[in-house]
A and B are shown apart, each in its own frame.
Chain A
């Protein structure tokens, strides 16, 4: 597994050099990195533990709202807000998981959509706290050691560290007992139970970690947008995009989320600038094509082929 760490460090150094490019590319860079982080967090639950969530926008939104409200209403520094958001997101995910993980079938996926919807309605209607449908605007942020959080370069490095951290956690978990337990639960719950694993406990743990990590990215996203609207942030499309990033890249792989983020964000950006109105249409078509031709995702299919070739040679 060491080769994954080496690859990660190499990519991190390359990533750190990225802001040399003209500043117009910074926004795409931040978006790719945030999606890498969210997708890696989603992958812990959806890829490794096999529980498909379509409500991860809730945690993105929680992170963003905590940072925004922390700064505008409670005079709280963003790092404390992010910690609170992580705590809140894990508690919410534990309650929510308790409710749905004991059931099989599509119940979990469906309930995740409902929770994101309820959070959106709360954000819109409880204007005294959240600024209502118009949203919140972050106008002041502290400047520790003279770091300006409003600078796009700072935001880029925050996102870079975040993305690298989620991948590092994935690599770390993949080789630990917990990683094997998650895969056992995903592949066959009865067999996992027979081996002494409590599937619900494993899923809950995966969900709490996934939710907390997503909220961190949400906090960075809040600073990056600096203007948060409930319609845009608790959006089903965002939840779907996070899930699809992993599916396209490869579920249950270490690098799948990162590959998916690069492909989807860059393709999305390209479609948006070249085809204007039709961009989401092409985006949908691209997703459909990838799912139909590469059901395991890009990284999944690639490693599958590598393994096949290896065995073919040995035979």
Chain B
């Protein structure tokens, strides 16, 4: 007989993990929408968020979730500065040039972290790390639930900014048509800096949300997150925030289901396979607008 309890258990875990993937993916897709480039340092921004929480926890003893209040503005400022002083110089070069510049930034960040914190993985111990509560025999981990809620709040805030404020209107205009936005008086340089800052803030928030679940380690962790963020955005549809959320949830579910019903050693591969299948049959993403075909 089919085991419904464990099915719903996996589903709830998948959705909650997927929510955090969505948070990472939304930042990447937001930046892609306005700057038309894939930010390879995005995963490293997530790792910066993780270390930020680790440091504040070990020095000041703060709960990782409280550090969010500082992680978000810090991420925004750093991201805006990176865009203003590094990426803005090559904004008119070929899109590949920009992509490679972000690769350079990624290498610098990953190795700076390695130099400061060493190769040993670090994490934050919270008293509620393993506590759960049950809804009809389905166990829900508090930490996962908190991570999912953070995503909900941060993305909700982002939606309000994008849809209800003047800045948000300018961002959407720049994403749709940069030249057109400039013609009606939008300072697109400023918008790009703001968006890159928002992207980094979202990534750092995701890092903080993940720290009680995962270990922070410099080096390849950043690249892994960047890859996950790509998968999320392509599953949903590149440059579309709602689609990135759906893509994140889908990736979380596919990974958890694949790992528990097929072979757990290939956990990371299921997401990638789903990504290749989506590329094959619906390259604009499951929820995206049509892309131009040759």
How many angstroms between the C-alpha atoms of A255 and B227 in the bound complex?
Answer: 32
B160 is an interface residue with CB less than 8 A from chain A:
no
Which of the listed residues B32, B89, B97, B107 has the most CB atoms from chain A within 10 Å of its own CB?
B107
Assess the B230–A113 pair: CB atoms within 8 A: yes
* Residue in contact with B100 in the complex, picked from A111, A117, A199, A244, CB distance below 8 Å: A244
Select the stretch in B56-64, B208-216, B263-271 that faces chain A.
Answer: B263-271
Interface residues of B in 252-294 (CB under 8 A from A): 263, 265-266, 268-269, 272-273, 275-276, 279-280, 283, 291-294
Select the stretch in A24-32, A70-78, A97-105, A146-154 that faces chain B.
Answer: A97-105
B55 is an interface residue with CB less than 8 A from chain A:
no
Assess the B231–A114 pair: CB atoms within 8 A: yes
Residue of A nearest to B89 (CB): A292
Assess the B86–A292 pair: CB atoms within 8 A: yes
Interface size class of A (residues with CB under 8 A): 35 or more
In the complex, chain A residues whose CB is within 8 Å of the CB of B112? 281
How many angstroms between the C-alpha atoms of A122 and B263 in the bound complex?
Answer: 12
Assess the A114–B238 pair: CB atoms within 8 A: no
* Residue in contact with A105 in the complex, picked from B105, B272, B291, CB distance below 8 Å: B291
B223 is an interface residue with CB less than 8 A from chain A:
yes
How many angstroms between the C-alpha atoms of A283 and B279 in the bound complex?
Answer: 33
By DSSP majority rule, is chain B's interface helix, strand, loop, or mixed? helix
* Residue in contact with B291 in the complex, picked from A103, A117, A199, A292, CB distance below 8 Å: A103
* Residue in contact with B279 in the complex, picked from A111, A278, A285, CB distance below 8 Å: A111
Residue of A nearest to B87 (CB): A292
Interface residues of A in 73-132 (CB under 8 A from B): 99-107, 109-111, 113-115, 117-118, 121-122, 124-125
Residue of B nearest to A286 (CB): B104
Chain A nearest Cβ from B44, distance in angstroms: 11
With A107-B234, A278-B115: A287-B294 Cβ-Cβ less than 8 Å? no
In the complex, chain B residues whose CB is within 8 Å of the CB of A291? 90, 97, 100-101, 104
* Residue in contact with B223 in the complex, picked from A52, A121, A236, A284, CB distance below 8 Å: A236
Interface residues of A in 267-291 (CB under 8 A from B): 277-278, 280-281, 283-285, 287-288, 291
How many angstroms between the C-alpha atoms of A198 and B44 in the bound complex?
Answer: 39
A295 is an interface residue with CB less than 8 A from chain B:
yes
In the complex, chain B residues whose CB is within 8 Å of the CB of A264? none
In the complex, chain B residues whose CB is within 8 Å of the CB of A104? 291-294
Assess the A105–B89 pair: CB atoms within 8 A: no
Assess the B275–A285 pair: CB atoms within 8 A: no
Chain A nearest Cβ from B276, distance in angstroms: 6
A247 is an interface residue with CB less than 8 A from chain B:
yes
* B80-117 interface code vs A (CB 8 A; 1 in, 0 out): 00000010011001111101110111111011101100
Assess the A117–B86 pair: CB atoms within 8 A: no
* Residue in contact with A288 in the complex, picked from B86, B227, B280, B294, CB distance below 8 Å: B86
B125 is an interface residue with CB less than 8 A from chain A:
no
Which of the listed residues B111, B112, B234 has the most CB atoms from chain A within 10 Å of its own CB?
B111
Interface size class of B (residues with CB under 8 A): 35 or more
B245 is an interface residue with CB less than 8 A from chain A:
no
In the complex, chain B residues whose CB is within 8 Å of the CB of A240? 103, 107
Assess the B97–A103 pair: CB atoms within 8 A: no
B6 is an interface residue with CB less than 8 A from chain A:
no
Residue of A nearest to B113 (CB): A281
With A104-B292, A281-B111, A281-B115: A288-B101 Cβ-Cβ less than 8 Å? yes
* Residue in contact with A114 in the complex, picked from B104, B108, B275, B292, CB distance below 8 Å: B275
List residues of A whose CB falls within 8 A of some B CB. 52, 99-107, 109-111, 113-115, 117-118, 121-122, 124-125, 189, 193, 199-200, 236-237, 240, 243-244, 247, 277-278, 280-281, 283-285, 287-288, 291-292, 295
List residues of B whose CB falls within 8 A of some A CB. 32, 37-38, 86, 89-90, 93-97, 99-101, 103-108, 110-112, 114-115, 220, 223, 227, 230-231, 234, 238, 263, 265-266, 268-269, 272-273, 275-276, 279-280, 283, 291-294
In the complex, 10 of the A-B residue pairs with CB atoms within 8 angstroms, ordered by the A residue number, are A103-B291, A103-B293, A106-B38, A111-B276, A199-B294, A247-B100, A281-B108, A281-B114, A292-B86, A292-B89
